[in-house]
Amino acid sequence: MLRDADFRMVYATGEDEPIAFYIEALMESHNLDLGLGFFSSSGFKVLSHGFAYFLSRGGKMRLIINNILTPQDKEAIEKGQETSTERLIEDRLVADIISLQKTLSKQDQHFFNCLSWLISKDKLSIVAIVPRNNAIGIAHQKFGVFSDQASDKVAFTGSLNFSESAFLYNVETISCYRSWTTENERVNYYNTLFRKIWTGQNSSVQFISIDKVKTHITSSFPTSGIDELLKTELSLIEEQLNVEIPGVEKLKQLQGRIRKSKLLNTRDTNDIKPREYQKEAIANWINSGYKGFFEMATGTGKTFTGLFASLSLKSKNKKCFLLILVPTISLGEQWKEEVRKVGYQNILMVSSNYSGWDKHLASSINAFKLGAVDNTVCISTYDSYKTDKFQLYIDKLPAETLLIADEAHAMGASQMLQKMPHGIKYRLGLSATPHRHFDDSGTSRLLEFFNAEHFSTYQLNLKQAIADGHLCQYKLYPHFATLNDSEFAEYLSITKRIAKKIHLKQGEFEEQDPHVEKLLRDRRNILNKAESKLVILNEIIEFITSSEGEVKHTLVYCPEGSTPEEDARIIDHYGKFLGLEKGLRIGKFVGETSPEERQKLLKDFDEGKTQCLLAMKCLDEGVDVKQTKTAIFLASSTNPRQYIQRRGRVLRTHKKKSFAHLHDILAIPPELQESEETLRVEKAILNQELRRYREFADDAYNYVEAVEPLKPILEKYGLEL
């Protein structure tokens, strides 16, 4: 109840923060009458904190949007360009929302989802007002009244606009008045003011009903269940606790309230149980002294196997501090969602996206050691883990810390090997491909750290995973992109330069130094970016359309450039072809794509709104796209880890797919007058391409059909698959 809260008379930036007032009032009230001011992305971020909790307790809202007509608006009406003020205001508000939708943050999105829920439950009323006869005063006032079930009220007013800068950064002041004190007269004033505007009794403003705005909100923003809104709000709070913002203590209080809410649906946690193979993996890990390495094919549930292992340790020690290392921010966000599903609550994110994480980490470690909590999860990228700032906390981690390293092959890199957390006694590495490319030493030290130098603690290969139904079967289709004469000539030229530095051995080239490595990359790029691949891509799209009826849930792996600018040009090149020439709905998933954009891209792809998702290396590790039915490999590196993980993205099971389809484009040499030199180079080209295709073909459902087109080429060069 409002009377239970300790409201201040005045809230000012840098002292008692305005955001703390709104969080407190939303937690304690059941009704809100709000004069919002101009309708913009304004106070959405602030009101998103506590709004779902307010709704979960039966909250209702009346919202007045104050609009001032511009001189241009008035001129349009006078000239008859707009038939009425009502239509002008309503259309402008809808246009404002449409414009806002292009740049909504997660907090903004949550605010509108809550509004949509209120409208669907008939618990939100919205009107707009404009001043009559050039009156200004009332339309500039920003005020509101919170009330609870005991009829207590808290009114507030101030000079602020509802904007992020006003609430969080500028020096702003609001005044607060409580009905159960001598301030009741002020409360009655604002309560009466709102009532008169709402009922059309205030002669200084024109009252406008805006049903079109409500309709647009409900049609544009999904009406989630209240449990989902609470989960989203909890997630937003956890993100805000990772950065330095005002009102942290109130956010923590709100966090605790939501977690105790009976409406917070926890069925996901109860429904998720380990499968038999996961139980076997965990038993092996326990028998190995709680140190081990799970070598499991991409898509077989490494994440949950690791989390179930952590729960077994938590059961043993009665508490668990979980440190999870991941290669990318997007993969970290995915882990955050999964750890909640198995019951973890105190989650800290560490990456370049979260400022102030070090203070949160320090307080989380202290709270755990003092026994205030029995579980804490810290999810960090490898890049952030390597920083001096993070390393300051390694020796301070609790004795009950479990390290889970996802895509653990990354820990074998030289910089990571220097910062291995040997003080953590509980360890678990996860990877489909633990062996590092051309790095036996790094691989050996990595596996030794996880007590798996001789063999993995648990192993589940692709063939077994498909046979057991953990992954779906797939069909493989080869396509041949012939190098043109100039491409082959350039390839041959680079090969000669390489040959001057290293020896040739049965058509294979060995890496020796950075200069050679660059030459090898340049030469590989000739194969990856062969001009004829665009023609082949067109043929594949036509094949999919004719056989499936339409292109849907298709992932296209594009060649990589040597610079970010070249990456952008390449993906734009293929994007324009698929989007403009083929008329497909496409999305581009690149390294610079923000977390919010990535979530929307994957959601649209999952729902079929996006037919083709173009990607480079950012979809190699850990991003879950279960609906993917078809993958087109325009290019891959020579590192087996990359193409093995890319294949795994497509093989995840889904109720709507029985088979996955892989289209692999192999670059092949042109028909030339062959010499001993060119023949050797041609074989080298084919051997590079055949390594990948051999890996794909071995486990393909249509093995015979997949290798048949290669036979003439293999026979010509005396090669075997």
Show the CA angle centred on residue 532, arms to residues 509 and 711, nearest 5°.
Answer: 65
The pLDDT of residue 223 is 67
CA distance 321 to 9: 41
The pLDDT of residue 58 is 87
Helix H or strand E segment including 265 = none
Mean pLDDT on 710-718: 92
- Whose CA is closest to 567, among 585, 593, 542, 547? 593
Mean pLDDT on 177-201: 92
Global pTM value: 0.67
Each residue's pLDDT tens digit, 563-622? 888 888 999 999 999 999 999 999 988 766 676 677 788 888 888 999 999 988 666 555
In 616-653, the DSSP E strands lie at 630-633
Q: Which amino acid type is present at position 549?
A: G
What CATH number does the domain located at 2-225 have?
3.30.870.10
User: Could you give the dihedral angle defined by the CA atoms of residues 690, 695, 698 and 704, in that order, rounded to the nearest 10 degrees?
Assistant: -30
Mean pLDDT on 277-301: 95
Q: Is 360 left (phi over 0), alpha (psi -120 to 50) or beta?
A: alpha
pLDDT at 628 over 50: yes
Alpha carbon 279 to chain centroid, angstroms: 29
CA distance 92 to 87: 8
State what percent of residues in the chain have pLDDT above 70.
Answer: 85
The model's confidence at residue 268, banded by pLDDT at 50, 70 and 90, is very low
CATH homologous superfamily of 476-717: P-loop containing nucleotide triphosphate hydrolases (3.40.50.300)
Q: Where are the domains of the chain?
A: 2-225, 267-466, 476-717
Please check whether the domain covering 267-466 is classified as CATH 3.40.50.300: yes
Is 280 in a helix, a strand, or coil?
A: helix
* Number of Cβ within a 10 Å radius of residue 179: 20
Is 551 in a helix, a strand, or coil?
A: coil
The pLDDT of residue 262 is 66
The pLDDT of residue 189 is 94
CA distance 279 to 275: 6
Q: What is the DSSP letter of 243?
A: S
Per the prediction, the chain carries an average pLDDT of 84
Question: How many helices and strands in the chain, by DSSP H and E?
Answer: 30, 23
The pLDDT of residue 636 is 84
Each residue's pLDDT tens digit, 27-77? 999 999 988 655 554 455 567 788 999 998 889 999 888 755 555 655 655
- Whose CA is closest to 105, among 668, 501, 596? 596
Q: Is 407 left (phi over 0), alpha (psi -120 to 50) or beta?
A: left
Helices (H), ranges, 413-531: 414-417, 440-449, 462-467, 485-499, 514-528
Are 696 and 647 a contacting pair, CB within 8 Å? Answer: yes
Mean pLDDT on 661-686: 86
Least confident of 187-201, 446-460, 499-513: 499-513
Least confident of 234-238, 317-321, 460-464, 555-559: 234-238
Question: Do 476-717 and 267-466 have the same topology in CATH?
Answer: yes
